[in-house]
Chains A and B, each alone.
Chain A
Amino acid sequence: GAGVSQSPSNKVTEKGKDVELRCDPISGHTALYWYRQSLGQGLEFLIYFQGNSAPDKSGLPSDRFSAERTGGSVSTLTIQRTQQEDSAVYLCASSLGDPSNQPQHFGDGTRLSIL
C-alpha cells in the first residue's frame, strides 16, 4: 500500500519568504509527527498530532513555525519569514496509534534550502 507521502521533495526559496510543506500520512493512521533533520544530525522532534486531541507543539523552535492537520489526515507545516538556519530536511511520520507502542513510518522528506 501507499506509504507516507511528502511534497514538495525539494524546495528552494529566498530568506524571508513563507513556505508550506505537505504530508499525506498512511490511510487510517491516527498519529502524525513532524521532524527536522539537519546535515549530519539526528532527527529533531517538532510537533505531534494524535486523533482529535490538541497537538503537542513542544518541539517547534519558534513562533515562525506552525502546523495543522485537517480532517485528521493531511498535515501542513508552515514556516513564516524563513531564515537560513531553517535549511534542513523536514520529515513526516505516521503511526497507527500511540507511537510508544506502534512503529512510525516515515516519508522521504522535503529538502528545504533557504538562500
Chain B
Amino acid sequence: QKEVEQDPGPLSVPEGAIVSLNCTYSNSAFQYFMWYRQYSRKGPELLMYTYSSGNKEDGRFTAQVDKSSKYISLFIRDSQPSDSATYLCAVSRQLTFGSGTQLTVLP
C-alpha cells in the first residue's frame, strides 16, 4: 500500500465550478500536510500547508484534514482556467507525495 493515495484524474470542470481534490494516507503519525500545484514543465508550487485536523482557507482555496479517517482535501471555489494544473498532495517530513490529479477548468 502506498503511503499516500491520490486519484490521478484527469478531472475536467466548467469555469466557476467548485473543485474537490482528495488524498488518503496510511500513517497516522503524519501531522503536516501540504498541497502543491504544478503547471506543465514547471516545478511544484506550494499552495497550502496545514498541521493536524481542521480547515485552512486562503482566498479561493480551502485545505481540510480529517485525521480520524486519514483523509485530506483541497477545495477550489469559483474555479478559473488558470487553475488548470496538476495538484499534488504531500505529507510530512520527506514530503511523501501523491501521484497528482490533473485538473482542467474549461472556459
Question: Are A45 and B43 in contact, CB atoms less than 8 angstroms apart?
Answer: no
Question: Are B43 and A106 in contact, CB atoms less than 8 angstroms apart?
Answer: yes
**Please, how many angstroms separate the alpha-carbon atoms of A103 and B6 in the complex?**
21
Residues A41 and B99 in contact in the complex (CB < 8 Å), given A100-B93, A103-B34, A103-B49: yes
Question: Are A108 and B43 in contact, CB atoms less than 8 angstroms apart?
Answer: yes
**Please, how many angstroms separate the alpha-carbon atoms of A30 and B44 in the complex?**
19
Question: Is B97 an interface residue, CB under 8 A from the partner?
Answer: yes
B interface residue count range (under 10 / 10 to 19 / 20 to 34 / 35 or more): 20 to 34
Question: Are A101 and B32 in contact, CB atoms less than 8 angstroms apart?
Answer: yes
Chain A: interface residue total (CB-CB under 8 A):
24
Question: Is B46 an interface residue, CB under 8 A from the partner?
Answer: yes
Q: Which residues of B contact A103 (CB under 8 A)?
A: 34, 46, 49
Question: Are B43 and A4 in contact, CB atoms less than 8 angstroms apart?
Answer: yes
Against A, the Cβ 8 Å flags (1 = close, 0 = not) of B20-48 are 00000000000110101000011111100
**Please, how many angstroms separate the alpha-carbon atoms of A108 and B39 in the complex?**
10
**Please, how many angstroms separate the alpha-carbon atoms of A106 and B44 in the complex?**
6
Question: Is B96 an interface residue, CB under 8 A from the partner?
Answer: yes
**Please, how many angstroms separate the alpha-carbon atoms of A40 and B6 in the complex?**
12
Q: Which residues of B contact A100 (CB under 8 A)?
A: 31-32, 92-93
Binding site for A on B (CB under 8 A): 4, 6, 8, 31-32, 34, 36, 41-46, 49, 88, 90, 92-100
**29 sampled A-B residue pairs with Cβ under 8 A:** A4-B43, A35-B95, A40-B8, A41-B99, A42-B4, A43-B88, A43-B90, A43-B95, A43-B97, A45-B95, A45-B96, A56-B94, A59-B94, A91-B43, A93-B43, A93-B95, A99-B93, A99-B95, A100-B31, A100-B32, A100-B93, A101-B32, A103-B46, A103-B49, A105-B46, A106-B43, A106-B44, A106-B45, A108-B42
